[in-house]
Amino acid sequence: MKALWGRVINALSLIVFVLMISTGSLLKWVLPPGSGWIEIAGHGRQGRVVYTVLGLDRHDWGSMHFYISLILIFLLCIHLVLHWQWIKVTAWGTSAKPQPLGRKMIIIAIILFILIALAFPWLALKEVHS
Burial of 107 (0-12, 13-18, 19+ CB in 10 A): middle
Q: What's the pTM? A: 0.76
Give the per-residue pLDDT at 112: 94
With 90 as the cut, is the pLDDT of residue 17 above it? yes
Chain segment 32-89, per-residue pLDDT in tens:
887 766 656 666 556 667 788 998 888 999 999 999 999 999 999 999 999 999 988 8
In degrees, to the nearest 5, what angle opens at C-alpha 30 toward C-alphas 28 and 31? 75
Give strand pairing partners of 56.
Answer: 53
More confident residue, 48 or 108: 108
